[in-house]
Chains A and B, each alone.
Chain A
Amino acid sequence: MEFEGNGLLTLVVFLPLAGALGIALFIKRDKEVRYMAGAIALAELILSLMVFTTYDLSEGGVQLVDRTSQWIPIESFKVEYYLGVDGLSAPLVLLTGLLGFAAVYASWSVKTRVREYFVWLLVLQTAVMGVFTALDFILFFLMWELEMIPMFFLISIWGSGRREYSAMKFLIFTFLGSAFMLVGILALFYSTGTFDMILLPDAIAQTELIAPAGIIFGLIFTAFAVKLPVWPVHTWLPDAHTDAPTAVSVMLAGVLLKMGGYGMIRVSAGMFPEVIVDAAIVLAALGVVNVIYGAIITIRQTDLKRLVAYSSISHMGYVLIGISSVAGVGGLVSSTGLTGAAMQMFTHGTITGLMFLVVGLTYEKVHTRSIPELGGLSARMPVVAVAFLIAGLASLGLPGTSGFVSEILIFLGAFPVYGWFTGVAVFGVVLTAGYILWMAQRTMFGPTIDRFSNVRDASRMEMVPLAVLIGSIILVGIYPSFVSDMFRDGVAGIVADIQRSGALAMVLP
Chain B
Amino acid sequence: MTMHDIYLLSPELSLAGLATLVLLVDLIVKRKSYLFVLTTVGLVVPLGFTLALLGSLDGAGVVENQGVLRDTLVVDKFALFFKLLLISIIAIVSLLSIDYVRRFEQFQTEFVVLLLYSATGMMLMASTKELITIYIALELSALPVAALAAFMRDGRSAESGMKFLILSGISSALLLYGMVLVFGLTGATQLDDIAERIATLAINTDEPFGSYALLMGVVLMVAGFGFKITAFPFQMRAPDVYEGAPTPVTAFLSVASKAAGFAVILRVFYSAFGIEELSVEWSAIFAVLAALSMTIGNLVAIAQRSMKRLLAYSTIAHAGYIMVGLAAVSTRAGSGDSSLGISAVLFYLSGYAVMNLAVFSAVIAISNRINSDAISDFAGMARRAPYLSAVLAFGLVSLTGIPPTVGFIAKVYVFGAAIDAGLEWLVIIGVLNSVIAAYYYLRIVKSMYLSEPLSTDPIESGTPLRLAMLVTSAGILLFGLYPTGLLNFVKSAAQALLSTS
A175 near B438 with CB under 8 A, answer: yes
B interface residues, how many (CB within 8 angstroms): 36
Residues of A within 8 A of B491 (CB): 74
- The answer, yes or no, to whether A471 is at the interface (CB within 8 Å) is no
Which single residue of chain A is at the shortest CB-CB distance from B424? A211
Interface positions of B from 426 to 463, Cβ below 8 Å from A: 427-428, 431-432, 434-435, 438-439, 442-443, 446, 449-450
Residues of A within 8 A of B435 (CB): 172, 175-176, 179
A76 near B484 with CB under 8 A, answer: no
B420 near A76 with CB under 8 A, answer: yes
A164 near B403 with CB under 8 A, answer: no
A179 near B432 with CB under 8 A, answer: yes
Contact among B419, B432, B446, B484 with A168 in the assembled complex (CB-CB below 8 Å): B446
- The answer, yes or no, to whether B365 is at the interface (CB within 8 Å) is no
Question: What is the CB-to-nearest-CB distance from B277 to chain A, in angstroms, rounded to a whole number?
Answer: 22
A193 near B484 with CB under 8 A, answer: no
Residues of A within 8 A of B415 (CB): 182-183, 186
B434 near A175 with CB under 8 A, answer: yes
Residues of B within 8 A of A297 (CB): none
Residues of A within 8 A of B404 (CB): 142, 146
B484 near A149 with CB under 8 A, answer: no
Which single residue of chain B is at the shortest CB-CB distance from A74? B487
Segment with Cβ contacts to B, from A53-61, A152-160, A353-361, A417-425: A152-160
Residues of A within 8 A of B322 (CB): none
Bound Cα distance A58, B420 (Å): 41
- The answer, yes or no, to whether B55 is at the interface (CB within 8 Å) is no
A210 near B334 with CB under 8 A, answer: yes
B438 near A187 with CB under 8 A, answer: no
For B474-485 the 0/1 string (1 means CB < 8 A from A) is 000000001110
Bound Cα distance A171, B438 (Å): 8
- The answer, yes or no, to whether B282 is at the interface (CB within 8 Å) is no
Bound Cα distance A152, B450 (Å): 11
B431 near A182 with CB under 8 A, answer: yes
Which single residue of chain A is at the shortest CB-CB distance from B401? A145
Residues of A within 8 A of B432 (CB): 176, 179
A interface residues, how many (CB within 8 angstroms): 38
- The answer, yes or no, to whether A73 is at the interface (CB within 8 Å) is yes
- The answer, yes or no, to whether B335 is at the interface (CB within 8 Å) is yes
Contact among A74, A146, A186 with B484 in the assembled complex (CB-CB below 8 Å): A74
From known contacts A71-B482, A77-B487, A183-B419, infer whether A190 and B427 are also in contact, taking CB-CB under 8 Å: no
Residues of A within 8 A of B483 (CB): 72
From known contacts A145-B402, A149-B397, infer whether A179 and B419 are also in contact, taking CB-CB under 8 Å: no
- The answer, yes or no, to whether B264 is at the interface (CB within 8 Å) is no
Residues of A within 8 A of B446 (CB): 152, 156, 164, 167-168
Interface positions of B from 28 to 77, Cβ below 8 Å from A: none
Residues of A within 8 A of B334 (CB): 190-191, 210
- The answer, yes or no, to whether A366 is at the interface (CB within 8 Å) is no
- The answer, yes or no, to whether A75 is at the interface (CB within 8 Å) is yes
Residues of A within 8 A of B335 (CB): 76, 190, 193
A142 near B408 with CB under 8 A, answer: yes
B431 near A179 with CB under 8 A, answer: yes
A183 near B402 with CB under 8 A, answer: no
Residues of B within 8 A of A72 (CB): 483-484, 487
- The answer, yes or no, to whether B81 is at the interface (CB within 8 Å) is no
A146 near B402 with CB under 8 A, answer: yes
- The answer, yes or no, to whether B416 is at the interface (CB within 8 Å) is yes
A142 near B419 with CB under 8 A, answer: no
Residues of B within 8 A of A73 (CB): 484
Bound Cα distance A156, B435 (Å): 18
Interface positions of A from 134 to 175, Cβ below 8 Å from B: 138, 141-142, 145-146, 148-149, 152-153, 156-157, 164, 167-168, 171-172, 175
Residues of B within 8 A of A210 (CB): 334, 419, 422, 424
A142 near B484 with CB under 8 A, answer: no
Interface positions of A from 66 to 96, Cβ below 8 Å from B: 70-77
Residues of A within 8 A of B499 (CB): none
A179 near B434 with CB under 8 A, answer: yes
A172 near B487 with CB under 8 A, answer: no
Residues of B within 8 A of A118 (CB): none
Bound Cα distance A54, B482 (Å): 31
Residues of A within 8 A of B416 (CB): 76-77, 186, 189-190
Question: What is the CB-to-nearest-CB distance from A503 to chain B, in angstroms, rounded to a whole number?
Answer: 24
Residues of A within 8 A of B280 (CB): none
Residues of B within 8 A of A71 (CB): 482, 484
Name which of B415, B435, B482, B488 has the most chain A CB atoms within 10 A of its CB: B435
B484 near A180 with CB under 8 A, answer: no
- The answer, yes or no, to whether B273 is at the interface (CB within 8 Å) is no
- The answer, yes or no, to whether B337 is at the interface (CB within 8 Å) is yes
- The answer, yes or no, to whether B132 is at the interface (CB within 8 Å) is no
- The answer, yes or no, to whether B213 is at the interface (CB within 8 Å) is no
Interface positions of A from 459 to 505, Cβ below 8 Å from B: none
B403 near A146 with CB under 8 A, answer: yes
Residues of A within 8 A of B450 (CB): 156-157, 164
Residues of B within 8 A of A187 (CB): 419, 424
Question: What is the CB-to-nearest-CB distance from A450 to chain B, in angstroms, rounded to a whole number?
Answer: 38
Bound Cα distance A156, B488 (Å): 40
From known contacts A142-B404, A168-B446, infer whether A180 and B431 are also in contact, taking CB-CB under 8 Å: yes
For B396-423 the 0/1 string (1 means CB < 8 A from A) is 0100001110001000110110011010
From known contacts A75-B337, A142-B403, infer whether A186 and B442 are also in contact, taking CB-CB under 8 Å: no
A77 near B413 with CB under 8 A, answer: yes
Which single residue of chain A is at the shortest CB-CB distance from B490? A74
Question: What is the CB-to-nearest-CB distance from B23 to chain A, in angstroms, rounded to a whole number?
Answer: 44
Contact among A153, A167, A171, A190 with B419 in the assembled complex (CB-CB below 8 Å): A190
Contact among B438, B482, B488 with A74 in the assembled complex (CB-CB below 8 Å): B488
Which single residue of chain A is at the shortest CB-CB distance from B484? A72
From known contacts A145-B402, A190-B420, infer whether A76 and B412 are also in contact, taking CB-CB under 8 Å: no
Bound Cα distance A178, B433 (Å): 13
Question: What is the CB-to-nearest-CB distance from A224 to chain B, in angstroms, rounded to a whole number?
Answer: 16
Residues of B within 8 A of A171 (CB): 438, 442
Question: What is the CB-to-nearest-CB distance from B378 to chain A, in angstroms, rounded to a whole number?
Answer: 15
- 5 pairs of residues in contact across A and B, judged by CB atoms under 8 Å: A72-B484, A73-B484, A74-B491, A77-B340, A193-B335
The 10 closest A-B pairs by CB, nearest first: A179-B431, A76-B337, A186-B419, A190-B420, A142-B403, A186-B416, A176-B435, A76-B335, A74-B487, A175-B435
List residues of A whose CB falls within 8 A of some B CB.
Answer: 70-77, 138, 141-142, 145-146, 148-149, 152-153, 156-157, 164, 167-168, 171-172, 175-176, 179-180, 182-183, 186-187, 189-191, 193, 210-211
Given A73-B484, A74-B491, A149-B402, 16 more A-B residue pairs with CB atoms under 8 Å apart are A74-B488, A75-B337, A77-B340, A156-B446, A157-B449, A164-B450, A176-B435, A179-B434, A179-B435, A182-B431, A183-B419, A183-B428, A183-B431, A186-B415, A187-B419, A193-B335
